[in-house]
Amino acid sequence: MKYFCISFLLIFFVVVEVVSAYDVPKLVDLPFDDSDLSFSYYHKSCPEAERIIHNKVKEWVTKDYTLAPALMRLHFHDCSVRGCDASILLNHKGSERWANASKSLRGFEVIDEIKEEIEKKCPKTVSCADILTAAARDATVAAGGPFWQVPYGRKDGCVSLAKEAELVPMGHERITDLVEFYQSKGLNVLDMVVLAGAHTIGRSTCGSLQHRLYNYKGTGKPDPTINPQYLNYLRRKCRWTSEYVDLDANSPKKFDVQYFKNIQHKMGLLQTDQMLYFDSRTSPLVNALSSQPEVFKHQFAAAMVKLGNIQDYLSDENGEIRVNCNSVNKY
């Protein structure tokens, strides 16, 4: 018992030391401009908004649990281009939604149904950007992840370009490229690793893995960083490129730290997942988070707050409250 307590304390202090090195803010201290976003933004104009969003997300995820990670990913893609302005929801030729990088995105029908319900209660009041941000939070909770407060007041953007969506990370980038991408959004290395932990749930198309399984970097051989047993498993699961495979082979329906344990054992599904363990900037965080589920959940909530607060102020000035999330207003 004495040995256990000493070991636990050593692990705890290692985690604190590694994580604190990134100047992690507390949830209550996370910065955002109160003049733009507010926790009470809809308290008077649409007090039922959060309840409607919560109930609809819970209803859809209960029917199809894969919609939880799908909504989280949809939110990430939205905030990664022009900030969190619901530009990913605009459905017209040449929009982000039509980009190759967006082909596997799902959950649009959930947002549409939420918007339709809210419009009945509070017409022309709640933005699609705010709906998507809150829906991602409620989807996380529905999957067993942490809760965090969402500030509101985002505007819906009027510009959506497919070429900009192609810049969103897709799982084959170098770690340096990922670090630079996240930094350009105001996020740090810790945020990047923690948000990658969302791959504890969800799935990927087998088509995105073919190069790792059969022809890594043109060698005609598999990626040598893949665990041989895991490689055999993936080859059996991915007989067709149109098939799907879980991002976490061990606990795909549970929001936990198994993702980090997997990549410690060379079982990262995407190339960028596995490279987190081999890069000196990220491997200490992987090791720390793999044994600290509560730390992971806390930091995930903090990183999601920062992600949801990314705004393009030029877009915001020209933004609107869409009546239909799929198209800009016609007046």
**Can you tell me the distance from the alpha carbon of 150 to that of 37, in angstroms, rounded to the nearest whole number?**
9
DSSP label of 155: P
Rg (CA), the chain: 20
Burial class (CB in 10 A: 0-12, 13-18, 19+), 23: exposed
Residue 306 in contact with residue 32, Cβ under 8 Å? no
Catalytic residue check, 77: yes
Identify the active-site residue in 54, 75, 77, 211.
Answer: 77
Q: Judge contact between 160 and 78, C-beta under 8 A.
A: no
The residue ranges of DSSP E strands in the chain, in sequence order, are: 203-205, 244-246
d(CA 16, CA 221): 40
What is the rounded distance in angstroms from the CA atom of residue 137 to the CA atom of residue 316? Answer: 22
Grouping H, G, I as helix, E, B as strand and the rest as coil, residue 265 is: coil
What is the spatial distance between Cα 315 and Cα 307, in angstroms, rounded to a whole number? 17
- Classify 62 as helix, strand or coil: helix
3-class secondary structure, 227: coil
Residue 152, beta-bridge partner list:
38
> Which is nearest to 36 in space by CA: 315, 331, 281, 253?
315
Reduce the DSSP state of residue 168 to 3 states and report it. coil
H or E element that contains 273: helix 271-278
Provide the annotated active-site residues. Answer: 77
